[in-house]
Each structure stands twice: as structure tokens, then as C-alpha cells.
Amino acid sequence: MIPKSHPRYESLLLRDKIVKASKDGYLADSAMIAHGRGEAFDYLIGERTTYPAKRAMYAGVATMLLSKNPVISVNGNTTALAIDEIIKFAKTVNAKIEINLFYRTDKRVKLISELYKNHGYLNILGSLDDEIKYLNEIKNLRATASKNGIYSADTILIPLEDGDRAEILKKSGKNIITIDLNPLSRTSKMSNISIMDNIVRAIPFMTKIAKDLKTQDKKVLIEMINDFDNKDNLKESLEQIKLNN
Ligand code: ATP
């Protein structure tokens, strides 16, 4: 039991979730390494949501609200850290949720599908009984996508995504939004909108933003998206590390 007074309390709680998920068998072997990389960047920005991250969240949520078929892609880490928050956000922006694993195995897909069902979300895509297609005709497990989900989506939110997979998604011509604590990752660089924040802070904040933006005129949302420049915003995101230290 971690005492609440511990200076690294929040961070250690997240570590515990990842360790538990690993024991439960639905994380890839490299999941802890990916988490550790994220943790290091979060440490450098002071474990807070920065201004550039907020700006990217507004543009990202506006994009999702204006999309015809927005999909949230989830993997083991995302599920371990923020399953209920993801379900709530999906409902708020009317997006589908799809299991999208870099190292796709039936066992992990089954375990993650069951988790979403146990948490009250019954329509998970990318499950074992879903119709799976290949993006850009690449016959490779990395290019799999649900026919009614990522395959036909116009916008995909890909938190904590690997660069190879992000590249395949990007090449398929979709709008890509990522949540990634590393502003230098390939995924951050190739996405249309990159949110440099911890998923556990970003998703609840994005749900709040969505509730607000849903009451706004479409023109305001379009302006928000047009004013956003990912390259500039990533540069500012990186500067946050220096500003915090
Ligand atoms: P790329 O291939 O895109 O250059 P990578 O090889 O680091 O990056 P992965 O390790 O597969 O890709 O992806 C994990 C990414 O998710 C990392 O960039 C890491 O910083 C980020 N990450 C890990 N945990 C979190 C978290 N809790 N919130 C947000 N981002 C996170």
C-alpha cells in the first residue's frame, strides 16, 4: 500500500496498474518499457497539463466532434490506465472504441474485450468476432483494422501508439490525433494533432472540453482546427521541459 503522502504517489499508482495488467496477461512484453518512457517525459514536464497540450486537446476534440466516424484506438496500456475514462469520453463525443494491438494475439484481444464488457461497454470493435480488414492491402497483423471502425474511420484517436503503426494509419489518409508524452516520437511528429500529456489527465479533460464544445457553433470548432499548427505546437510542447526545470 502506497501512503498518500508519498511524493511520487500518483506516479506509483499508475505503475501499480501497469504491473497488475501485466500479471493479468493483457500487456505486451514491451509495455513496461513504453510506460517508463512516458513516465520520464511526464517527470520532465512536472506531471502537469501544459498550455500547448490544452490547445491540442481543443483542436482534437473539435475534430472528433466534426467527424463522421471517429474511432478511439485502445491497446493494453491505455486500457490499464484509463478504461472508464475512455468509455465516458467515447460516449461524450459519439466515437467508437476499437482494440488495436501492435502485437495482436487472440489471448490479449479476448482479455481486453472482456474488460470493456465488464466495465459496461458492449460494442467494442476489433474483437475476435469482428470483421477485420487490412489497411492499404498490407497483409500484416500491424495493418489490421475493424471494417466498421478504424478501416472506415475519418478520424482516429491513437493514444500511446507505436510509430510503425501510426505510419500505416497516417498513410491510409485519416485524420490522426495522438496522446503521447514524448513530443519527439515518430507518432507525435506524424500525427495531425499531438497532445503531449499523460492519458490519465488528458482524457477526463477532453471529456470536459467536449461537453463545452458541443454547445458551440460549428464555425467556432472549424476555426479552432484551422488555427492549430501541429509542428509549432510540438515545438512549444518541447519548450515546456526547459520552462519547468
Ligand atoms: P515512436 O515509435 O512513435 O517513435 P516509441 O517507440 O516510443 O515511439 P512506443 O514505446 O511503442 O513508441 O509507444 C509508447 C509511447 O507512449 C511513448 O512515446 C511514450 O512516451 C508514450 N506514453 C507512455 N505512457 C504514456 C501515458 N501514460 N500517457 C501518454 N503517453 C504515454
Q: What is the pLDDT of residues 18-46, one digit of tens each?
A: 999 999 999 999 999 999 999 999 999 99
Residue type at 116? Y
The sign of the CA dihedral 150, 186, 112, 1 is: negative
Burial of 33 (0-12, 13-18, 19+ CB in 10 A): exposed
Ligand 1 centroid from CA 216, angstroms? 33
Q: Across the chain, what does the average pLDDT equal?
A: 95
Residue 185 has pLDDT above 90, yes or no: yes
Substitution candidate for ligand 1 out of 13, 16, 44, 160 with most atoms within 8 A of CB: 160
The confidence band for 118, taking pLDDT boundaries of 50, 70 and 90, is: very high
What is the pLDDT at residue 104? 87
Rounded CA-CA distance 181/244 in Å is: 15
Ligand 1, residues at Cβ distance < 6 Å: 34-35, 37-38, 41, 81, 160, 162-163, 179-182, 185-187, 198-199
Query: Cell triple for residue 176?
Result: 490522426
Label residue 138 by pLDDT band (50, 70, 90): confident
Give 85-104 pLDDT, tens digit per residue: 999 999 999 999 999 998 88
| pLDDT score, position 56 | 98
- Indicate which residue's Cα is closest to atom 2 of ligand 1: 163
Residue 142 has pLDDT above 90, yes or no: no
Considering the four listed CATH numbers 3.40.50.720, 3.40.50.10310, 3.40.50.12640, 3.20.20.80, the one that applies to the domain covering 51-237 is 3.40.50.12640
Mean pLDDT calculated for residue range 168-191: 95
CB distance 150 to 124 below 8 Å: no
Across the chain, which distance is largest between two alpha carbons, in Å?
53
pLDDT score for 55: 98
Residue 176 pLDDT grade (very low, low, confident, very high; cuts 50, 70, 90)? very high
pTM tops 0.85, yes or no: yes
- What's the pLDDT score for residue 139? 78
